[in-house]
Amino acid sequence: MNPPDLYDVAVVGGGPAGSATAGFLARAGRRVVLFEREEFPRFHVGESLLPATLPLLERLGVGATVAEHGFQVKYGATFHDQESGLEHTFYFLRGKPWPSHSYQVPRAEFDALLLEHARKQGVDVRQPVTVEAVAFDAETVSVTARTAGQVLTARARFLVDATGRDALLASTHGARGRIPNLGKVALYAHFRGAARAQGRDEGNIRIYIFEAGWFWWIPLAGDLTSVGCVMHARTLGSWNGAREDVFREMIHRCRRVAQNLAGAEQVTPLRASANFAYRNRPIVGERFLAVGDAIAFVDPIFSGGVHIAIQSAELAAQALDSALDDARAAATRFAAYERAIRRGLAPFFRFIHKYYEPAFLELFLQPKPQFGMIDAVLTVLSGGGFAGMSVRTRLSLALLFSIARVNLWLRRLAGRPVESRLEW
Ligand SMILES: Cc1cc2nc3c(=O)[nH]c(=O)nc-3n(C[C@H](O)[C@H](O)[C@H](O)COP(=O)(O)OP(=O)(O)OC[C@H]3O[C@@H](n4cnc5c(N)ncnc54)[C@H](O)[C@@H]3O)c2cc1C
């Protein structure tokens, strides 16, 4: 039995990655303390979930609570390109290891629900408490935190960095790697009274691509719609007016968004996220590992952030559970976790890069069912790529990328644009 002041694991951050890691560990019988800086509920960007997240929530023991909460159900994703007029809706497939739906969630509610679940599993949740420093010795990690002017300390055998974009460990013990040229900005708000699709299409995420960037359109329950514009920082930088004016101008330029917002009322202040593309290091050490956004983030186009957060949480909890059973010190004990993370992120990131190439986008918006290509695209769009893809799915994706290369040459010969729009 541990002495009361020595936890098995200290988790910093109570977003989806932190509360899921803590929850999985507590269910495995581990003593876990979790520090979260904010009072919940609190706003967070990232409201569209993927189907492959639902089996993870089941294994965490919170699947039924999420299903019964009343979140907007999402059956697919619609992509529309203003320039070419091409549009396609991908409906999540049946008969996969994940369901054919997911949810659109106000993160204030979703994150509070996950953290409350972790508490119910026995996690010692300290909130609002900001972790200011961590120090490692051969056997333990010491955490120094602050709440309302008071200093708290705790010791644990291992530490999990789940601090999201703040990336506590990379900032203090490593490096935060910004990805050059991907300095993007998102401006977003919630609206009431926006146009709603009917029936099964009501909850689809919609992506509207236009010349300055793209909009997300996420229908939430209760007639709320989350609308966000992603553009390059230089677009915002070249603007003299207020952010609100830029947002209004972008809505005006993206005709579908303008039409669908006619008569709607903005009910939250305009919020912004900037410079969200980075890869951090280290993501593991002898006594710590990082989960979720504390590892890396590239682009929100395929709504993968929360899935990566909860999938990495499950893998991290498994790695920590084994490490806790093995008293030997070993610098390489989390190497397999790191490999699994890099393998899981690679197809996702590759797909994001491809998506911004006009030659690929053109095929993506007119998908052909031959050789399992739609199935392969949907596997990635559902989040199924992270846990490992079948050989058939890999071959289908490779074929799709090869056809995109041929299309690139055809476009080049015809004098049509081929440059990636990722750096917009
Ligand atoms: C513009 C944009 C749009 C996005 N859209 C989507 C989407 O549609 N779908 C999707 O799945 N993902 C989306 N994402 C990504 C998603 O927001 C993140 O991937 C997800 O929130 C990661 O979860 P996390 O738990 O790792 O980090 P977070 O959710 O950020 O949680 C980190 C927590 O750590 C706490 N914390 C930080 N520092 C400390 C400290 N020192 N002490 C104590 N607590 C601390 C914070 O308060 C926070 O609650 C989007 C991201 C952006 C930028």
- Same domain, yes or no: 252 and 146: no
Report the amino acid identity of residue 55.
Answer: P
| Predicted confidence (pLDDT) at residue 271 exceeds the cutoff of 80 | yes
Give the whole-number percent of the chain exceeding pLDDT 90: 72
- Same domain, yes or no: 135 and 172: yes
- Which of 60, 166, 176, 315 to mutate to test ligand 1, by most ligand atoms within 8 A of the CB atom? 166
Q: Could you give the number of structural domains in the chain?
A: 3
Considering the domain boundaries, does residue 95 fall inside one? no
- Same domain, yes or no: 225 and 365: no
Calpha distance 328→75 (Å, rounded): 47
User: Is the distance from the beta carbon of residue 166 to the nearest atom of ligand 1 less than 6 Å?
Assistant: yes
Calpha distance 52→310 (Å, rounded): 10
What residue's CA is closest to ligand 1, atom 39?
Answer: 163
Q: Under the phi-then-psi rule, with left for phi > 0, alpha for psi from -120 to 50, and beta for the rest, what region is 100?
A: alpha
Distance 111 CA to ligand 1 centre (A): 10
Contact predicate 280/167, CB 8 Å:
yes
pLDDT digits (tens, 9 = 90+) for 396-420: 988 999 999 999 999 999 999 888 7
Calpha distance 408→362 (Å, rounded): 10
- Average pLDDT over the chain reads 92
What residue's CA is closest to ligand 1, atom 29?
Answer: 15
pLDDT digits (tens, 9 = 90+) for 77-124: 999 999 899 999 999 998 889 999 999 999 999 999 999 999 999 999
Half-sphere exposure of 131 (CA within 13 A, CB side): 30
Q: Which domain holds residue 374?
A: 357-413
User: Is the distance from the beta carbon of residue 276 to the nearest atom of ligand 1 less than 6 Å?
Assistant: yes
- Same domain, yes or no: 258 and 130: no
> For position 129, what pLDDT does the model report?
98
> For position 182, what pLDDT does the model report?
73
- Same domain, yes or no: 157 and 197: no
User: Is the distance from the beta carbon of residue 140 to the nearest atom of ligand 1 less than 6 Å?
Assistant: no
> For position 3, what pLDDT does the model report?
43
User: Is the distance from the beta carbon of residue 292 to the nearest atom of ligand 1 less than 6 Å?
Assistant: yes
Domain boundary among 227, 249, 274: 274
The pLDDT confidence band at residue 298, using thresholds 50, 70 and 90, is confident
Looking at residues 235-255, what average pLDDT do you find?
A: 92
> For position 351, what pLDDT does the model report?
85
User: Which is the closest atom of ligand 1 to the Cα of 297?
Assistant: 19
Give the global pTM.
0.96
Dihedral angle of Cα 243, 249, 250, 253, to the nearest 10 degrees: -170
- Same domain, yes or no: 62 and 139: yes
Q: Which run of H or of E encompasses 319?
A: helix 305-325
Give 194-200 contacts, CB < 8 A, sequence gap 24+: 194/219, 194/225, 194/227, 194/260, 194/261, 194/264, 195/259, 195/260, 195/261, 195/262, 195/264, 196/223, 196/225, 200/75, 200/76, 200/91
Distance 314 CA to ligand 1 centre (A): 17
- Same domain, yes or no: 265 and 284: no
- Same domain, yes or no: 139 and 207: no
Considering the domain boundaries, does residue 88 fall inside one? no
> For position 316, what pLDDT does the model report?
98
Q: Is 63 helix (H, G, I), strand (E, B) or coil?
A: helix
Question: In Å, what is the CA distance from 144 to each residue of 6, 132, 153, 157?
Answer: 14, 6, 5, 15
